[in-house]
Amino acid sequence: MIDYHMHTPLCHHAEGAPAEYLAAARQKGLLEIGFSDHYPLGLLGISPPNKVSMDPEELPGYIDEIRALGAGEKEIKVKLGVEVDYIPGKEKETARLLEGAPFDFVIGSVHLIDDWDFTHPRHARRYETADLAQIYRRYFELIWQACTSGLFDFIGHIDVIKKFGHRLSHKEMEPYWEKTARLLKEKGLCYELNTSGKDVPAGEFYPARRLMELCFEQGVPVTLGSDAHGPKQVGRYFDEALALLREIGYRELAVFSGRKRSFISLDEGGGG
């Protein structure tokens, strides 16, 4: 198994040294891991109310540390990635920053609707007073723009807008799932099964099973990540994730090197 979504303390809301994440991955019998800490928002000219990404001057040290960790590891492949916020209007800057950067993969995530950090527990109250249908519309518009931007290798936690348990009905969601799956397919993109949703009020993986089924039907590849913000979270709920992937029909997971995609069989490396 692989874990392609792991953070480091540089983002200020994760704990544990990268070497401890690697040790946890070894214990879980993982074959390959990818670090994907939060890319400096400061480089995109964004300063959110809470510090949720590394500082610009920390980026070179992050790159060096993950590379050194990988170079010193014989059994587990260690990939260098980043989780980059999709910021509308900043596509050119983002492209320029990522061009020639040494990453194996770039996750594109939406954590901000305008200046609302809607994944942050401190700002979750806003769900209770806002129009939920409108919030979902705005969120998915951003996801669709992220898909068409061509900036990313895969989209992170694609329905994280449900994080705090505020949901639309299945019927209301259907057009969102259909358009999202279609765009992923059209743009040759991949998405992740992100298991972290189990540990928040949403209580289930990202994305919803329905989207995964539509993606599978259309041949959209999937990768797998725990979104670990601490070593203990590496590979969380992977047995369940593996079973779900198999049930839906997936037989392989996408992996990345130098931003080129290849595949690893779900059977490789046994359980999680």
Strand partners, 78: 33
Interacting stretch for Fe ion, rule CB under 5 A, among 50-58, 82-90, 164-172, 208-216? 82-90
For 7-21, letters b (16+ CB in 10 Å) and e give bbebbeebebebeeb
d(CA 153, CA 50): 26
Using an 8 Å Cβ cutoff, are 255 and 2 in contact?
yes
Does 104 sit near Zn ion (CB under 5 A)?
Answer: no
Closest CA to 3 of 33, 36, 31: 33
Count other C-beta atoms under 10 Å from residue 92's C-beta: 8
Residue from 136, 192, 227, 228 that binds Zn ion (CB under 5 A)? Answer: 227
Query: Least distance in Å: CB of 244 to Fe ion?
Result: 20
Does 37 sit near Zn ion (CB under 5 A)?
Answer: no
Nearer to Fe ion, 232 or 249 (CB): 232
Query: Least distance in Å: CB of 157 to Fe ion?
Result: 6
| Residue 173, CA distances (Å) to 132, 144, 146, 209, 258 in order | 12, 14, 19, 12, 35
Does 223 sit near Fe ion (CB under 5 A)?
Answer: no
How many residues lie near Fe ion (CB under 5 A)?
3
Does 227 sit near Fe ion (CB under 5 A)?
Answer: yes
Residue from 109, 180, 195, 233 that binds Fe ion (CB under 5 A)? Answer: 109
Interacting stretch for Fe ion, rule CB under 5 A, among 122-130, 199-207, 212-220, 222-230? 222-230
Using an 8 Å Cβ cutoff, are 76 and 28 in contact?
no
Nearer to Zn ion, 65 or 227 (CB): 227
Beta strand pairing call for 32-38 and 77-85: parallel
Nearer to Fe ion, 249 or 253 (CB): 253
Positions that interact with Zn ion (CB under 5 A) = 227
Positions that interact with Fe ion (CB under 5 A) = 83, 109, 227
